[in-house]
A = this chain, B = another copy of it.
Amino acid sequence: MDPILATYRLDVAPPLARKRAEELAREQTVELPDAAVRDPRIRSQVIPAIAELRPSDDGGVRAVLAYDAALSAIDPSVLLNLLFGNSSLQPDVRLLDVELPEELRIGFAGPRHGIAGLRALCGVRRGPLTASALKPLGLGPAELAELATRLARGGIDLIKDDHGLADHPFCPFEERVHAVCAALDRAADETGHRARYAPHVLGDGDALRRQADVARQAGADALLCCPMLVGPSAFHHLAHGLWDGPLIAHPALAGAGAIAPDLLLGRLFRLFGADASIYPHLAGRFAWSAATVERLLERLRGAWPPLRPALPVPAGGMDLERVPELVATCGPDVMLLIGGSLHVGDGGLDARIRRFVQAARESAG
């Protein structure tokens, strides 16, 4: 099998690059001084070879390490541990990119539904999907169900929990999910439009299993989950074990930049089974560059056989006035997530929901 190729950025002067890359290769595998690795099989098969080493445009050095594919054990947390576990603690190294052989991509399996599955679920064949959030944290199930009703009546395709909603005593998961699903069913009886609902699941493995079961029984359509809070293996186990419907990744706790964000939220979350990935878009409350967003879009939707493309969800302070620009920037295969800003500005909530949906439809041309 071909190796896993991992690209790192080392903050080191070029003359020291090989030594630093060799240290990195040992740190991530054998964790032994060079002189202690006497077994030739370990030296050649376990310690990754340095496949490439070149000065980087921004100073420093790019190093590509070639890891034996068997070391990943086809498990997301084993893979992340292998590529960056200890080195995440060192200030002079970032993980920029990963390429995996096709056998591993098949093994991880990636999005179970992908863009086509989300479009089918929402009944939207072309143009952007619309999404909004149930918020704020602190409301009870009945109040959130009331907001869900208004979003559904206004024509929103997908309604998700704010990722701050968990299984709190003042808003228990089970009660919330049943209340929202019932509200969406009633709204569908009135309007003919059944908005889809993605509750947020969070906790340990048993909690995730219970919450997925509750969501299924209540008739929820998708799940929202934060891979870096529940652990990447638990996220993957939801996508390919505990839950059959679409799974939307949220980037909570995924920050800080030592793993390039387009790699983590784009390529890796897709690999681990995200059908859609929420990310902080340009000119919102988070400071990503246009180049990072462009790479992220490519990593989510670009060809990476046999993995299905995943839907990008620009978020983090978008508002409805930006719909045409968002579709122009991201293209039509996108889910527009507008949450807080629907609650302020001209015309009241219901009117703004309708204007959002209308703007999204018009942007489909």
Contacts and interface: CB of A to CB of B under 8 A. Distances in A.
Contact of A138 (B29, B233, B339): B29
Contacts of A169: 70, 73
Interface stretch (A1-9, A96-104, A186-194, A198-206): A198-206
Nearest to A169: B70
A322 interface: no
Interface stretch (A40-48, A299-307, A323-331): A40-48
Interface in A1-41: 23, 27-33, 35-37, 39, 41
A237 to B, nearest CB: 4
A217 interface: no
B32 A73 contact: no
Given A206-B237, A229-B85, A256-B257, A30 B344 contact: no
A77 interface: yes
Contacts of A168: 70-71, 73, 78
Contacts of A287: 90-91
Nearest to A253: B88
A41 B287 CA distance: 31
A255 B119 CA distance: 38
Most buried by B among A37, A169, A204, A258: A204
A135 B32 contact: yes
Contacts of A27: 285
A286 B202 contact: no
Contacts of A254: 88-89
B229 A230 contact: no
A196 interface: no
Contacts of A170: 70
Contact of A135 (B30, B236, B286): B30
Contact of A78 (B202, B208, B257): B202
A140 to B, nearest CB: 11
Interface in A267-316: 280, 285-287, 316
Interface stretch (A56-64, A149-157, A159-167): A159-167
22 contacts: A29-B136, A32-B339, A32-B343, A36-B343, A41-B138, A42-B139, A46-B137, A71-B137, A73-B167, A75-B203, A77-B230, A78-B203, A85-B252, A86-B316, A88-B253, A89-B286, A90-B287, A204-B205, A204-B233, A205-B237, A206-B237, A230-B233
Given A30-B138, A42-B138, 12 more contacts: A36-B344, A39-B138, A45-B138, A46-B137, A75-B202, A77-B203, A81-B164, A81-B229, A89-B280, A89-B286, A205-B209, A229-B233
